[in-house]
Structure 1
């Protein structure tokens, strides 16, 4: 039986299976084993539970996860060409790699494999944000369903996830992510590391679910409040929130917030207070 370290080079796998990256699937393949190894190690101990990888492509990160000692990797892939290309890696994994054909946006992540679950993935750029939002919903339903997430995004998205209040990147994604998770931008990856090279730099982010959210709120309501506030981020809150609160200025005053403030000036607890007020109205 072929051992993991004896698998053919990824470029050979790509050529043999005709794996030209498809823009419609947001594919950019990361082939450098030093970088995929660094991503795998960022997830910590992989020897327990299940590691979930989204969009493995030809399997560069998949190999690194297995070589780093992952007990069980579930690779979720929509592209049938990639599933065929990954079959050789599955056979060499000694039963540790499970291939799952499907759309990651429709996969209930909190039911896959066994706890402790970790998601480690070079996310397809075109669905990266919706995927993260869906996983935040899973964490909101079941705080211990995921131990951590090591995810690669476009750098601009990674900055939005990790930005503090007052930062120009601070927005809806910052509030929702940091409300439920500790977030940290780990390192950048240059376009030239990918095949084909994207037009933007990528960044790897670590998200660790909190024991409990930073403040009391319902996620669906918090989504509404942040969408309204940041959807018109140049406007003062007394204007941007009028669609949710006809008496927005009065509500802001009741909560000790300036009616002339803009969305980026509010911290996460402030948004939670607004969400609570909306829930109670």
Structure 2
């Protein structure tokens, strides 16, 4: 569904995307993870034909991205803060336009509005929406026609945990229908839970990639546990030595498993942060 080979893109001499390659199969959720300025948006813009790479090759739906036309875009859904909506129209009228264009029933539109807790506010003008409500409007706009390929830029940003979980359920349902999902997120837990494959992006380069648990296992201290004491101190010891510390005011004992966030710090020396 998506393939990049040695793609590069620079702006004013600054390398935004530096020799990146990856492949995404049909029906996968692919997490593209990186802080602001790492090259995520540039990559999406190349894949959707909005930008042309300086070198390398990129294909979407079996077609060179430099040859994407309007008919190809009918099979693609894009959620991004660069994709606009009609500010003076209500939530419902914004989405009704897309529903009619794609021949989608209003019943399905209403179902999505209810799932994402927008139905009661459907007559509110888009210009008056909170950040979280705009996110949900743009998400519905992107998924409404059940595209073959879906690009989502931070779909749960600004959402509470309950709505985030509902978005995750919706994305997994789309995945089971064969939709391929390209997801950018700064939420490492989200990526671990719902993505089939991830790539960590830093300063335009992919620094690690693979199935989330495989990446975590690669950097975890197997056979070791972290013991936390009630005074706030903690130590990492081999699992077989745990018994030596029992009775010493321990507050918790858990396996020494890495997280995607800790792996990012280990590889870059920097915290994973978004603006």
Shared fold (TM-score greater than 0.5)?
Answer: no
Structure with greater strand percent: 2
Normalised by the length of structure 1, the TM-score is 0.30
Provide the TM-score with structure 2 as the length reference.
0.30
More helix by share: 1
